[in-house]
Amino acid sequence: MKNLRAWSDHLRPKSQTPPQQTRKTTSLLVSVSVTLASTLLTIIPIYYSSLRYYPSFLWTSSVSSSSSTSSSHGHGVSAGVPSAKQFDLFTGEWVPNPDAPYYTNRTCWTIHEEQNCMKYGRPDTGFMKWRWKPNDCELPIFNPYHFLELVRGKSMAFVGDSLGRNHMESLLCLLSRVENPVEVQLQRWKLTGYNFKIAHFWAPYLIKAERADANDPSYTALFHLYLDELDPEWATKIVEFDYIIISAGHWFFRPTLFYENGQLVGCFNCYRENVTDLRFSYSYRKALQTAFRAIYSSRNFKGLTFLRTFSPQHFENGSWNQGGNCVRTRPFTSNETRLEDINLQTHSIETEEFKVAESEGRKRGLKFRLLDITFASLLRPDGHPSRYGHLAPHDNMTFVNDCAHWCLPGAIDAWNDLLLQMMKMEDGRSFDKTKSSWAFHFF
């Protein structure tokens, strides 16, 4: 049941706003020292700058001279791909797609109430009618038949928080065009015709974590994070899976106490005397290291691991608990915004730790890939439920605008366009522009 509570945990009731959240944040250092609510969710300024803010090494451009598959940089898409040509799937624009969406809340039964925006009265539909167009190539729309052929007899695990579940539910809906997934256990699904299994493992910190006071009804409760200890909930089970998609980030902005070797080494926002505030970047980096180590040092795991990068939030005109909302109805163009602050910091940590893991994995014959949705998603302020979500009735909480999760159908479906494209590239087929545009028109 805790899966269902992810978002409500994430959003604390208005009445429980800690006093520090009202403090004015002037510098980045100060701003990251306060809680999630006042940092991650503050106004996202819009920059009209042509500056691409991404460090260039993150991107493999089509003119890159590095076509070597032994590149030591863990470029998500290119590393290990046999194709001579390398495409950057992650830099681009959203372009109109009148054919979308490819499912509705009538054809897909598994849309979570909180993301069923049409059911809860979202008046505009334009946000569903876009597709991601990388600058260098065409990205085919998700083809569920192609996907299911690739995963026949296989299994895929999503490990992370409620955004990981949101991603999985988009995939389930896209696949429901071919066959309705059956929930065989809580958060375990099967498409029997293809003998394909999907699971979501609830692991918002990826590592071993405990609420400091399990009985504390306040959602501000501290968490103990054991930065060097695995979360056995998923780490002992990965062996069963052919694909793992891990993701995290948002929960690291809560007040947390950090342990290494069983010793308290610091905290984030704990405001305790004699405990050093090491910031969220310390715990997020260590958690990724520990999670990756669990994967590449697992003896029997032979699968393909994706790190799905940080999913930006889009509260504007105030933080989530100060009337902030996301009311836009169109995507940004890439020159209307840029990656910065929390989005940039989390993304940098992810790409740095991914590179290390990719290299360690390669030594052991394991593949790690970077599913880098951050920039594309940053351009989708229109994709969130805002007030057109709905909490499960058992959550006695004041509902505030949700500018973190994604409406289904909607922008998040493109994460699966990217996922399938990357899986196809692993499958050894080179990425051919003509073929991909054919695939795009397949439906």
Ligand X SMILES: *[C@@H]1O[C@H](CO)[C@@H](O)[C@H](O)[C@H]1NC(C)=O
Active site residues: 162, 402, 405
DSSP 22: G
Give the nearer residue to ligand X in terms of CB position, either 96 or 232. 96
Size of site (CB under 6 A) for ligand X: 19
Q: How many residues does the chain have?
A: 443
Choose the binding region for ligand X from 168-176, 237-245, 297-305, 326-334 (rule: CB under 6 A).
Answer: 326-334
- The residue (of 372 and 382) whose beta carbon lies closer to ligand X is 382
Beta carbons of 161 and 234 less than 8 angstroms apart: no
302, 394, 433, 435: residue in contact with ligand X (rule CB under 6 A): 394
DSSP 8-state class, residue 41: T
Work out whether 396 is an interface residue with ligand X (CB under 6 A).
Answer: yes
State the Cα–Cα distance between residues 376 and 414, nearest whole angstrom: 9
What is the closest distance, in whole angstroms, from the C-beta atom of residue 11 to ligand X in the complex? Answer: 15
Residue closer to ligand X by CB (options 153, 273) is 273
Q: How far is the CB of 407 from ligand X (least distance, A)?
A: 11
Residues 6+ apart with CB under 8 A from 440: 138, 140, 141
Dihedrals φ, ψ of 21, to 5°? -70, -15
Instruction: Answer positive or negative: Cα dihedral of 176, 117, 43, 31.
Output: negative
Among 335, 398, 430, 437, binds ligand X (CB under 6 A): 335
Is residue 274 near ligand X by the rule CB under 6 A? yes
Rounded CA-CA distance 436/404 in Å is 31
CB of 350 to ligand X, least distance (A): 27
- Contact between 333 and ligand X (CB under 6 A)? yes
Smaller CB separation from ligand X, 236 or 317: 317
Strand runs (DSSP E) across 115-154, as ranges? 130-134
98 in contact with ligand X (CB under 6 A): no
**DSSP characters for 355-407?**
HHHHHHHHHTT-EEEEE--HHHHHT-GGGS-BT-----TT-------B-SS--
> According to CB under 6 A, which one of 264, 327, 356, 392 is a site residue for ligand X?
327
Nearer to ligand X among residue 23 and residue 119 (C-beta) = 119
Per CB under 6 A, which of residues 188..247 are in contact with ligand X?
none
Residues in contact with ligand X, shown as a per-residue x/- string from 344 to 383 under the rule CB under 6 A: ----------------------------------------
Dihedral (CA of 261, 262, 264, 270) sign: positive
Residue nearer to ligand X on the CB measure, 244 or 326: 326
- What is the C-alpha separation between 51 and 327, in angstroms, rounded? 26
Residue selected from 14, 119, 211, 364 as contacting ligand X according to rule CB under 6 A = 119
- String of contacts with ligand X for each residue 38-77, x by CB under 6 A: ----------x-x---------------------------
Q: Cβ 106 to ligand X, closest distance in Å?
A: 6
| Alpha helices (H) in 133-276, listed in sequence order | 144-151, 162-175, 232-235
Indicate whether 118 belongs to the interface with ligand X (CB under 6 A).
Answer: yes
Number of C-alpha atoms within 13 angstroms, CB side, residue 77? 30
Report phi then psi at 127, rounded to 5. -65, -15
Q: How far apart are CA 288 and CA 354, in angstroms?
A: 8
Piece of the chain touching ligand X by CB under 6 A; list 221-229, 251-259, 324-332, 355-363: 324-332
- 263-268 and 256-260 beta bridge pairing: antiparallel
430 binds ligand X (CB under 6 A): no
Region 292-321 residues binding ligand X, contact defined as CB under 6 A: 316-317
| Sign of the Cα pseudo-torsion (97, 435, 414, 350, in order) | negative
Which of 38, 116, 166, 256 contacts ligand X by CB under 6 A? 116
Rule CB under 6 A: is residue 23 a binding residue for ligand X? no
Q: Going by DSSP bridges, is the β-strand pair 188-191/182-185 parallel, antiparallel, or unpaired?
A: antiparallel
- Contact stretch for ligand X (CB under 6 A) within 20-28, 322-330, 355-363, 364-372: 322-330
CB of 126 to ligand X, least distance (A): 14
* Site residues (vs ligand X, CB under 6 A): 48, 50, 93, 105-106, 116, 118-119, 273-274, 316-317, 325, 327-328, 333, 335, 394, 396
